[in-house]
Amino acid sequence: MSKVLLVDDDQELLHIMEKVISSFGYRIVTVGNGEEAIEQLKSDDFDLVITDMVMPQMDGMELLGHIKEKYPDSDVIVATGFSEKYSYSDIIRAGASDYIVKPIGKEELEAKLNRIFRERHIIKAFNKEIKAHKKDKIELQKTLYLLDKRIKELSCLFGISSLREKRSLSLEEIFQQTLELIPPAMQFSDITCAMIDYCGQRFQTENFLETTWQLKSNIHIRARLVGHVTVCYLRERPNQDVGPFMNEERRLIDAIAERMGSAAEHYRAADALQKLHEEFRIREAELARESSAVEKEMPEKSHERRKILVVDDDGDIRKALRKLLAAEGYEVMAAADGIIAFEQMRLNPADLVITDIFMPEQDGIITIREIQKYFPATKIIAVSGADRPLQSTVDYLEVAKRLGAQYTFTKPIDIDLFLDAIKKLLD
């Protein structure tokens, strides 16, 4: 059984990683710093060392240098973050077999470990042939090719991660620059072309031509299909694992699609929040112009302040709605999901509940049903994004209306219509 040494000064992370790696079928030993790792290496042999970059006294790069000098047969994975002083190139040049970015995903970690031990098996088999005087030049070239191919794939993913760190880039620029990183990572880069389709917009390399020799991976935002990444060969190549493509290339394209979905979700949320803030600023200006009238009416109506409960898993949306509704003179409460909302209603019932439809712990549909059952006098407004869950034909806002919601709105919300609906329900 392959043996792994895990080095990290975070004891909680060590405990979690020990359980995860053990579940993969590897034997694992954990230590809390570089000095303990050196002592452990003196007394035991390890196939792989996984070390954190930032540790007191001896950091990950120093430990990597020691291992490559004293134990060159041991592979090393360095866990790092983009804010640290060492680049991906620095880590690889220092002798690391791979790197992994925190927070560490279980599937990515398993894939990296499987890849390293698969390559160790190849290298051991190759060394055995040399000792037996059966060196095979073709197999050597294949092994070197696979290693070089893996470096190209890692460089591609690292390049995409670097693009997402550049706040000055638009989503369209991230898509286009990502496409330029894909061909060099493929085994036949000279005949590779790529395209990203996102919500009907197409971004592609200059030489893009859709052919039958292709890989395609879907782009999702919260389980909603919003596009896909397509990679094509312009000429026929011999069949391998997936048509003319390798399994590693299949996984690479899936990883790229996942990163594009994550980037798109971030930009979409930022755009929606910006629109909401802009509409709020407009409304705030209108309220300022009417301040004298409001000041006269507020003392008379202060005892009549109506309570509104806002239920949404997006903290920025909750904050913006609370500020908007409080400026209108309402008493506003907030909850991150339907479970919390029900507890708040039980302790302090609201006159109106404004709930999002899609939330992780308890969605808006169940929340509306419970409010109608236990608080029938409470008014309800349901809101939701424009996208439906993947492969769903259900109109969830229509379902909300049938369950008792008096009004429904699609994000981004029209502020004037939204406030008008609230006034009609509460006045």
pLDDT of 392 reads 56
Separation CA 256–CA 161 (nearest Å): 10
The dihedral sign for the CA sequence 262, 254, 222, 343: negative
Give the CATH number of the domain where residue 74 resides: 3.40.50.2300
Half-sphere exposure of 142 (CA within 13 A, CB side): 9
45/139: higher pLDDT: 45
Query: Residue 290's pLDDT band (boundaries 50, 70, 90)?
Result: low
- The parent domain of residue 5 ranges over 1-135
Residues 6+ apart with CB under 8 A from 47: 2, 3, 4, 74, 75, 117, 120
272 in any annotated domain: no
How would you classify residue 243: left for phi > 0, otherwise alpha for psi between -120 and 50, otherwise beta?
Answer: left
295 in any annotated domain: yes
pLDDT of 302 reads 42
Query: Residue 142's pLDDT band (boundaries 50, 70, 90)?
Result: confident
Separation CA 410–CA 382 (nearest Å): 9
342 in any annotated domain: yes
| Coil/strand/helix, residue 308 | strand
131 in any annotated domain: yes
283 in any annotated domain: no
* Residue 417 scores a pLDDT above 50: yes
* Residue 97 scores a pLDDT above 70: yes
Give the single-character DSSP code of 79: E
Cα-to-chain-centroid distance, residue 226? 15
pLDDT digit string, tens, across residues 173-204: 999 999 999 999 898 989 999 999 999 899 99
Q: Which residue has the tokens 């300022």?
A: 288
How would you classify residue 391: left for phi > 0, otherwise alpha for psi between -120 and 50, otherwise beta?
Answer: left
* Residue 80 scores a pLDDT above 90: no
Burial of 426 (0-12, 13-18, 19+ CB in 10 A): middle
- What's the total number of domains in the chain? 2
Please, what is the average pLDDT of the chain?
A: 86
Which of 379, 228, 411, 242 is CA-nearest to residue 314?
411
Helices 364-374, 396-403: crossing angle, 10 deg rounding: 10
Separation CA 204–CA 217 (nearest Å): 15
Q: Of the residues 103, 135, 167, which one is the last residue of a structural domain?
A: 135
pLDDT of 135 reads 59
pLDDT digit string, tens, across residues 211-256: 999 999 999 987 889 999 999 999 999 999 999 998 989 999 999 9
* Residue 292 scores a pLDDT above 70: no
pLDDT digit string, tens, across residues 61-76: 999 999 999 999 899 9
**Cβ atoms of residues 352 and 328 within 8 Å:** no
pLDDT of 75 reads 93
Q: Of the residues 102, 135, 168, which one is the last residue of a structural domain?
A: 135
Query: Residue 269's pLDDT band (boundaries 50, 70, 90)?
Result: confident
367 in any annotated domain: yes
| 368-390: average pLDDT | 82
Question: 381 forms bridges with which residues in the sheet?
Answer: 354, 407
Q: Return the amino acid letter for 149.
A: K
Which of 312, 292, 282, 323 is CA-nearest to residue 381?
312
Record the tokens describing residue 397, joined without a space.
């806002």
Q: Burial code of 339-354, b = ≥16 C-beta within 10 A, e = fewer?
A: ebbbebbeeeebbbbb
Q: Of the residues 135, 161, 192, which one is the last residue of a structural domain?
A: 135
Separation CA 203–CA 46 (nearest Å): 46
124 in any annotated domain: yes
* Residue 257 scores a pLDDT above 90: yes
Residues 6+ apart with CB under 8 A from 209: 193, 232, 234
- Answer whether 0.85 is exceeded by the pTM: no
299 in any annotated domain: yes
* Residue 83 scores a pLDDT above 60: no
Q: Burial code of 149-169, b = ≥16 C-beta within 10 A, e = fewer?
A: bbebbbbbbbbbeebbeeeeb
pLDDT of 274 reads 77
